[in-house]
Copies of this chain bind each other. A is one copy, B any other.
Amino acid sequence: MSSVMRTLAVPAAALVLLTAAAREDGEMRGYTAESAKIERNWEAKFRAIPEPGRMREALRRLSARPHHVGSPYGKDNAEWLRDQFRSYGWDANIEEFQVLFPTPKERLLEMVAPVKFTAKLEEPPLPQDPTSGQKSEQLPSYNAYSADGDVTAPLVYANYGVPADYDELERRGISVKGAIVIVRYGGSWRGIKPKVAYEHGAVGCLIYSDPKDDGYSQGEVYPNGPFRPKDGVQRGSVMDMPVYPGDPLTPGVGATKDAVRLDRKDATTIMKIPVLPISYGDAQPLLAAMTGLVAPEGWRGSLPITYRLGPGPARVHLKLAFDWSLKPIYDVIAKIPGSQYPDEWVVRGNHHDGWVNGAEDPLSGLVPELEEARAMGELMKQGWKPKRTLVYAAWDGEEPALLGSTEWVETHAKELAQKAVLYFNSDGNGRGFFGVGGSHTLERFIGDVQKDVIDPETKLTVWKRSQAQAIASGDRKARGEARDRADLRIEALGSGSDFSPFLQHAGVPTLNGGFGGEDGGGIYHSIYDSFAWYTRFSDTSFVYGRALAQTVGSTVMRMADADLLPFEFGNLAETVQGYTAELKELHDNVASRIAETNRQIDDGIFAATNDPQNPLKAPKSEPLAPALNFAPLDNADGSLTRAASRYEKAYGAAIAAGADPMTFARFNEIVARADQALLDDKGLPKRPWYKHLLYAPGLYTGYGVKTMPGAREAIEQKSWAEADIEIGRIAAAVQRETELVNRATDVLEKKVRVQP
């Protein structure tokens, strides 16, 4: 436990009461008493405006036809969105980029031995789902950025296809060299699966949806229930986005018409082997035809077969060809200029492209955003003017590769670095609990907002319901924290949506949130993600759509109107100390695992326990792990903790002393760069695009976050020299953050002269 936690832990009950009492008096972080009163009034008006019925109709309109990148209806939606923003009084325009987005020309999957079988690769239309029959406009099921290919090879089953799965295969003497790997969705982001298969020598990869994960095992299948039917397929990108997202031909720069482009063969993020997603209807005959060892217990799905590893005798022929032309994407960008700080931007976005009709993903998050924009338009008519500039975006091309957001961020990188104080992202919405992640400097701020929004099911505040969830589902430690810590923890962000370029490339303070946890389903990235599905099985009355609009809109307004930007560094310091402790524990675990394995090898334990009828090879001995130098990081963590404490006193005093525009402006300019201080321009090892040293998607997990990724992945990969270097770089970043905090505090303490 960090010193911050210790300080907070003792008088916790008192503190909670104090907070509650203070809040009744109208205290609001970053606001003088007078400003807070005004803000509360506008926010309350704002939250009364969003209408479920309008969201339903917007969802119906936007999901009426397939709207993937390059589709006619995608462009039509962008124009409609632009016009909607304009009709609300926003200055809205479309910004266009030209990106590499492959679409299928040929898809063939057939088993050639021991029996013939040709995969259907087709999702049937359903009479209960009117948009499911729009065959001429639908993208067929495929994985974007798969290689072209024509291969015939025996199948090997590799579970989720993560590196540990290949260790298991190797212990069983099974190589995937020259094979086509069949893996199931889940356990990692999908793009990891073909990448790891390729690294192990596979010539092709099939990814199927096991009914255990989102099919009949979870519940009734569509159209009778929300789960994945036999022929449902999860489309999706397999670009190597943990290296860099966005257009593969223009890393680091905007894919404008005239941008200098790489040759396609030099684009490292394009997959090297053909990859195809299939349904469990198509997978079952292939899996059933395999022999070889029975798959380990944890690898078995819910199909009524014996899951076996192969190789073969099932041999399959996989032939894929794509149209690799550039396609246009249409980002909708709408603005309201700030009345007081026009050069400070609060950015909010959700993508508008879908794989097919995309009702849940992404439109259920976009229609609340539209309602926020409409409500703010209404407030402006009543006299409200945001102090800072609002930038509302509807991104195109998120599904293939975060194309719209990445190219826009890369194009406007310099301006964002100077101006952006927040990016708030959503990507769909459902029923249940508000989940939120992002920059830990904003943990307290986003918690405060959640205390002002009412959960539609329980009529408790959204914050109270999240706290209850943390208590109900946590272990003893998590329960204690949820009860006694002043703030609920927010998640660190990995990837999988448009926040990635903002936070991890540009260092914009970022939040990402949405409701969920009570609705399940198996229509993700299929033709069945439709208006019909969403309005039967998810947030059917759009009350959570309204709650999302209320939560995000309040966040945006409160950030836009704040006297002092609401950044707080005590929680960041505590979080950074926690990550440091995790790194040490990870190192200890890796070190003792190596030592233990070596000892067991030396002692002949593997030979002694081997079953000759199910033989397992012993793993190989490895060099012991050296000790690592965590001292620089411990020192930096300590400095940040002390700086955060000093900052908080000065912050409270400055607010109590009342408005002081020049000081406040200078302070705001500094703290808005809180995440930029944590960037390192050299980026992460092997992936310079990712510059944030605290948060990144995992190189071998995909969406899943790796905190302090440089050091964490070096330890996981046993690159000890690199780990020491990365620990040093992270320590330097934390030290930069400390200096930023001290500079901001100096401003408030009037230790520096503020220029008029």
B-binding residues in A (CB < 8 A): 211, 216-221, 225, 294, 300, 302-307, 431-432, 457-458, 460, 464-465, 468-469, 471-473, 479, 518, 596, 600, 603-614
Contacts and interface: CB of A to CB of B under 8 A. Distances in A.
Nearest to A216: B306
Given A218-B294, A294-B218, A614-B518, A468 B609 contact: yes
Contact of A610 (B458, B603, B607): B458
A17 to B, nearest CB: 15
A605 B306 contact: no
A570 B237 CA distance: 63
Given A468-B605, A600-B471, A217 B458 contact: no
B472 A606 contact: yes
B600 A220 contact: no
Given A464-B608, A518-B613, A471 B306 contact: no
Scoring A211, A479, A608, A611 by chain B CB atoms within 10 A of each residue's CB, the highest score goes to A608
Given A305-B216, A306-B220, A608 B518 contact: no
Contacts of A302: 300, 302, 304
Given A294-B219, A518-B613, A607 B303 contact: no
Scoring A221, A303, A609 by chain B CB atoms within 10 A of each residue's CB, the highest score goes to A609
A294 B521 CA distance: 13
21 contacts: A216-B305, A218-B306, A219-B306, A220-B294, A220-B306, A221-B306, A302-B304, A303-B304, A432-B611, A457-B612, A458-B610, A460-B608, A465-B609, A468-B603, A468-B605, A468-B608, A469-B608, A471-B605, A472-B608, A479-B596, A518-B614
Given A216-B306, A306-B220, A518-B613, A608 B300 contact: no
Of all A-B residue pairs in the complex, the 9 with the closest CB atoms, nearest first, are A468-B608, A304-B304, A518-B611, A219-B294, A472-B609, A468-B605, A216-B306, A468-B609, A469-B609
Contacts of A612: 457
Nearest to A211: B304
Given A294-B218, A518-B614, A613-B518, A472 B306 contact: no
A462 to B, nearest CB: 11
Contacts of A464: 608
A307 B211 CA distance: 12
A572 to B, nearest CB: 28
Nearest to A227: B306
Given A458-B607, A609-B465, A216 B600 contact: no
A606 B612 CA distance: 52
A468 B604 contact: yes
Nearest to A606: B472
Contacts of A518: 611, 613-614
Nearest to A230: B304
Nearest to A467: B608
Nearest to A519: B613
A225 B305 CA distance: 13
A456 to B, nearest CB: 10
Scoring A304, A431, A432, A464 by chain B CB atoms within 10 A of each residue's CB, the highest score goes to A304
Contact of A458 (B300, B603, B608, B614): B608
Contact of A472 (B431, B460, B600): B600
A605 B305 contact: no
Contacts of A221: 306
Contacts of A304: 211, 216, 302-304
A660 to B, nearest CB: 41
Scoring A219, A221, A460 by chain B CB atoms within 10 A of each residue's CB, the highest score goes to A219
